Structure 1
């Protein structure tokens, strides 16, 4: 029988992968370190010296099957996910393992939904792309705010970063991912208009009011997967994009004993159903580091049975979103998830009405719901 605690981490030697390995060890699971480079795996920190290492190329289907063998869950941290997600997820399902990844890439998410939902259901396995800061966190917040409702008239996601020190993997992914970005308009996935819309958004402290641009990432695909939304908009403030587009911006550097950078983030979502508006917010530190407890929480729930069925699922469909957010808030990474009622209205809402929020921080934006 497959030991339930063995979790394969593909891309274990990367920046995010190392955080994931540490989090698995902290949760008393047994990571199996995997990737495309034997040299990089050999250079892993000494604290991981006793962990098994496996090397496989994503172009070698048989090699991937051998690499996944004996593991109950696969976590893919190796981008660009346009290249790695589908081959590795196919190997996971073929070997009898659940699969999660941390992609922000819309085409990678869609490819997994299209290709692996039926095989995963047949095998009684679960495939969850984008269980990470980008994609998963917003999806969980929206799901929790809806509190069981299957639809929303409008959803707005505003991601705010005080700065962005991009990893080498982030830069490679940006170069590789040139697909047209998708949004939801009138209930249908459609291409984002060019130029992308801009506006101001007032985030909770410490960010405050910032200029934002519509920049839909994997959360649009995950939310659309399980929530019927009339209009879905996703923004990112422009300051970190300036960092990302500057070739001289350095990669993240550790500022504490756990290796986290000083970067701060806020994920702010507003959901409207008729006259009921709900706002949900999570805030914390280091978008790469916080991905580790998010994806590992998913892995733990796949292992212990606290998940909702088989197939290719969005994070909020696979797991109890409110319970996952509670677990993240109680964890060691200091993510803040809190709630404040507001009577603000979404753009276009002429009815007003009582607002119930599950998780918000700070005062509502003056120009937002």
Structure 2
């Protein structure tokens, strides 16, 4: 293991490599013969993993912009896995632009996707790709959106959703806590608008029978628009009547949920009590993905797909995009996953079935 070893011609980095998902990606990368540099702010956490996997490491935080860009020199790309992305994505994107390194991450946060799109011109000028959301958030739903757009080119409304039985990792749980404080989000007439939690409720067959479902502020509210141009977008997950009531009651206390001390307390509790699913659970926890497109004439197309567990798909999806960028030379700019690799990306990932459109 060499800290700050001379980078290989296709050297790339996993930042946040010791988090739940970052470590899983690092281990799978090594199994594939890839040699990422492992990085993060904690030497005590990065060093044991780098030593075990025989990989180079770098230790740095995200607070010093000048240092950050220097740390990325020589890297072809950075796969950013250190949340909360609401705080960490912007400085890493800026550093990647300065270092002329491609930027990937595994976020599902709407604000991060919008930040990325706003950097499209700068990414083109720097000759790099910026593509957040290369995990379960948002590869499957983004590919479904692209497929539905192809099937119904004049669609004016798009609904997406998924039914997953997967438990949360600590990072995902913390992001969810932030999301509760921010309320719901949908896209109306091309613009992202704030709405109450559980704003829309309907019954949906995600692939395992019809279930009650409610809207959530998922990343596709941003990304699906940039993938398809469809101006009205909502995202749903299944929820019992009790869950819907709880979400709507949460609207009453949202100002409290946004207080810094409340967020700090909730996240501390998550750090102590939440662990991500192990290998056995991931193997048993597949996901149903669904989408519906409608046009002004009332014509309707529905898409369904079954994928691997959300974290298993994040591992293989992120590495599929990494390998693509290491081997190919796409035009520079800001991308969504389906824009970068096409609607068929998800069906090429292990555990994915056929994407069916009815």
**Aligned partners of 1:78, 1:9: CA distance in 2, in Å?**
9
Instruction: Choose the corresponding residue for 1:263, options 261, 285, 292.
Output: 285
Matched, 1:91 2:95: yes
Shift of 1:30: 1.7
CA–CA distance in structure 2, aligned partners of residues 12 and 101 of structure 1? 12
State the TM-score, normalized to the length of structure 1: 0.79
- Asked whether the 8 Å contact 2:149–2:228 carries over to 1, the reply is no
RMSD: 3.0
Q: Distance in 1 between matches of 2:112 and 2:190?
A: 21
Could you tell me how far apart the structure 2 residues matched to 1:160 and 1:46 are? 38
CA contact (8 A) 2:185 2:216 kept: no
Contact kept? 1:252, 1:261, Cα under 8 Å: no
Partner of 1:74: 78
Change (3 A) 1:249 1:281: farther
Q: Distance in 1 between matches of 2:153 and 2:94?
A: 29
Classify 1:32/1:284 alpha carbon distance in 2 versus 1 (closer, same or farther; 3 Å): same
Cα drift, residue 34 of structure 1: 0.8
1:150 is displaced (CA, Å) by 6.1
User: Which of 215, 234, 253 is the matching residue for 2:277?
Assistant: 253
Residues 126-135 or 311-320, more deviating: 311-320
Q: 1:288, CA displacement in angstroms?
A: 1.7
Counterpart mapping for 1:5-24 below 5 A? 5-24=10-29
Q: For residues 37-48 of structure 1, what are the structure 2 equivalents within 5 Å?
A: 37-44=42-49, 47-48=52-53
Q: Contact 1:3–1:72 (CA<8 Å) still a contact in 2?
A: no
- CA deviations over 1:338-362 (Å, ceiling 9, x no partner): 42x53xxxxxxxxxxxxxxxxxxxx
More displaced 10-residue stretch of structure 1: 175-184 or 83-92: 175-184
Find the counterpart in structure 1 of residue 234 from structure 2: 233
Preserved CA contact (<8 Å) 1:72 1:303 = yes
| Cα offsets for 1:268-319 (capped at 9, x unmatched) | 1122345653333332332122111112211222222264x22122222222
In structure 2, what is the equivalent of residue 189 of structure 1? 192
* Alpha-carbon contact 1:16-1:289 (below 8 Å) kept: no
Q: Distance in 1 between matches of 2:223 and 2:9?
A: 27
Q: Secondary structure at the match of 2:182?
A: coil
DSSP 3-state at the match of 2:89: helix
TM-score (norm 2): 0.81
Correspondence 1:131-210 to 2 at 5 A: 131-147=134-150, 152-162=155-165, 164-177=166-179, 178-193=181-196, 196-205=199-208, 208-210=209-211
Q: Which structure 2 residue ranges, 5 or more long, are not aligned?
A: 1-5, 248-265
What's 2:335 paired with? 313
Q: Greater helix share, 1 or 2?
A: 2
Instruction: Give the number of equivalent residue pairs.
Output: 328
Change (3 A) 1:193 1:78: same
Give, in whole Å, the separation in 1 of the partners of 2:339 and 2:279: 35
The answer to whether the 8 A contact 2:102-2:130 is kept is: yes
